[in-house]
Amino acid sequence: MAARRLYRRSRLVDRRVVRRAAFYLLLIAVAALFIGPFLILLSSAIKPATQDVFGFPPDLIPRPPVVDWFREAWTTIPYARFLVNSLIYVGITVPVYLVVSALTAYPLARIAFRGRGLFFMLFLSIMFLPGELMLIPRFLVMSQLGLTDTFASVILPAILSSLGIFLLRQAFSQIPDEIVEAARVDGANEFAIFWRIAVPIVAPTLAVLAILGFVSVWNSFIWPMVTLTSQSKFPIALGIAYLSGVSGTDVRGLAAGTVLSLIPVVVVFLLLQKRILDSMGGAVKG
Amino acid sequence: MSVTGMSGLNGRVVGQRWYTPYLFMVPGLLLYAAMFAWPAVIAVQLAFSDYDIVNPIRWTGLDNFARLADDPRAWIALRNSLLFVVMFLPLTVVAPLFLAMLVNVKLRAIQAFRMLYYLPVITSMVAVAVAWKYVFNREGVVNWMLQLAGLGPIDFLFDRHWALPTVVLLEAWKNAGLFMMIYLAGLQAVPADHLEAARIDGANGRQRLWHVIVPSLRPTFAVTLILSMLEAMRAFESVYVLTRGGPLDSTLTLGYYIWSKAFEDYDMGYASAVGLVLWAIMIVLAAVNLAVTRRKDV
């Protein structure tokens, strides 16, 4: 009797273990769909020249792994220059983006003035003017301003986003009134309240926007392609497109150059993933 | 609203003048004017003009639109863009819901899996396209699997029947993680007691999905639907990096057609007219979407 009960219980446990294992297998299979292409890219990037990149069955383990292709990608195009350019674009765009978004969102959340709703709608309308449709007129505006083929022409259109203003407005409006009133009684003017009290409180939102801004600037490709003609100003994404167009680039060299360009975003993502993933849900729910 | 509470709209709070809010918004408004409003005005002007960059802009009235109606490539582009939407919708509105249900569990490693599924979202389209060209190569991994199944080989990006579906698949794959996170946020807001009640009433998995989860996700669907449609309508970058509209215009979308007319043929006026049409379609889609989802809410 007791033995039978024990047997039944162990079977129950077994079934749970099997179920859990199957679930993990499913999770891993789906993960393979999403990171498989990156792994194949990486494998191609470290394969020696003697090993085929393509063929049936796929031969994905490099024998032996080599780093030559990274050197090749680095020297075929001015890779370091492109990386530095991208860092400059990110380094200027993101802080300016945060400051401008915060300045714009603050009165929309905390100061009562006529037309406030209208101004908010105005900034939200940016959503309906996507970059793809603004290529031509922006190109003309940049020519009128004499800014085509400059760093400024890449940075200026990237500073305003409806998401940034939307999220910051929401964050500012959640600041408890008592905190602001206390500062006001102490004689702080509106800008002092904004800078010394409100901005530090919304720091988590600013951090999320900084990450999203970093990713979007690092990956931006179409607009820089339209406005930039000097290779010396290319960001890295444009550099990769350029590398793939250079005749005689080995498929392994292209893979290596591409892998290299992914490292900064992937590292930032791995370090700050919790914040990014949490924010995605919040942004939508908000 | 403390501000109004303390002083009302007319009386000002200490340290605030009538221009204070505008002062804050000066940089934002200037940028809005220079980078959005002014270009939008130019875009509309160009749509009714002839402009080739070299000669000055010449007003031509509705000529561009008359040309558009007779332009077979414009119709191909429209058809491809609509096909894009039709294929893209189930891949981004339905499939990621199951993805979200998969990762909506309490396991120690689950955050790592969410992160892996999200990885394509944060990588650049250029890089992703390079990776896909390896995977979908004639002698790549996908064709190897097809061969094991006794199929293929298929030249995915060079076959005019397969190129568009392949580009759509790339866009969907790249965006799946984003849609998954949107659904995950929605799922975590589904009241647990409703699910529990359904379970006690003996509802099976599929019934719970249809009668409890889907109805309470209605606001989320409103978001994913519109996001998916707009994303598909304006698809350009993926086309540019994968196929350049080819082969034989089979992946020519409206977005790509605009780019190629403007920056390859320097036919800026005509390209702007196509752009205006695309913009109008997007606005209509958004409006219809809003109307439909609003009505359901009532």
pLDDT for position B156: 87
pLDDT at A6 over 80: no
pLDDT one-digit tens code per residue, A257-272: 899 999 998 888 888 8
* Same domain membership, residue A215 and residue A84: yes
If you average pLDDT over every residue of chain A, what do you get?
86
* Same domain membership, residue A156 and residue A55: no
* Same domain membership, residue A62 and residue A87: no
pLDDT one-digit tens code per residue, A31-70: 999 999 999 999 888 888 777 777 777 777 788 887 888 8
pLDDT at A190 over 70: yes
Q: Which residue in this structure is represented by tokens 């639109």?
A: B65
Residue B202's CB is within 10 A of a number of other CB atoms, namely 7
Residues on chain A touching B114 (C-beta within 8 angstroms): 277
Q: Could you tell me which of B117, B136, B225 has the C-alpha nearest to residue B174?
A: B117
* Same domain membership, residue A42 and residue A74: no
Average pLDDT over residues A171-183: 89
Measured between CA atoms, how close is A2 to chain B, in angstroms?
Answer: 31
* Contact yes or no for B187/B107 (Cβ under 8 A): no
pLDDT for position A253: 85
pLDDT at B9 over 60: no
Size of interface A-B (CB pairs under 8 A): 277
* Same domain membership, residue A30 and residue A51: yes
| Contact yes or no for A37 and B118 at CB 8 A | no
Nearest CB to A284; choose among B27, B124, B185: B185
The angle subtended at Cα B159 by Cα B158 and Cα B163, nearest 5°, is: 80
* Same domain membership, residue A31 and residue A10: yes
Report which of residues B108 and A166 the model is more confident about: A166
Assign residue A187 the CATH number of its domain.
1.10.3720.10
> What CA–CA distance (Å, rounded) separates B81 from B280?
14
| Contact yes or no for A107 and B2 at CB 8 A | no
pLDDT one-digit tens code per residue, A191-241: 999 999 999 999 988 988 898 899 899 999 999 999 999 999 999 999 988
Return the CATH class of domain B70-297: mainly alpha
* Full domain range(s) for residue A19: 2-66
* Same domain membership, residue A49 and residue A112: no
Residue after which a domain boundary falls, among A66, A87, A115 = A66
- Tell me which chain B residue has its CA closest to the CA of residue A177: B2
pLDDT for position B32: 95
Asked if this assembly's ipTM is beyond 0.90, the reply is no
Tokens of B270: 């005509």
Question: Which of B32, B241, B256, B281 best probes binding to A when mutated, by most A CB atoms within 10 angstroms?
Answer: B32
Task: Give me the number of domains chain A comprises.
Answer: 2
* Same domain membership, residue A55 and residue A80: no
* Same domain membership, residue A273 and residue A243: yes
Average pLDDT over residues B240-256: 90
* Same domain membership, residue A78 and residue A52: no
A133: confidence class by pLDDT, cuts 50, 70, 90: confident
Residue A5: exposure state from Cβ atoms within 10 A (0-12, 13-18, ≥19): exposed
> What CA–CA distance (Å, rounded) separates A269 from A284?
19
Residue after which a domain boundary falls, among A43, A66, A89 = A66
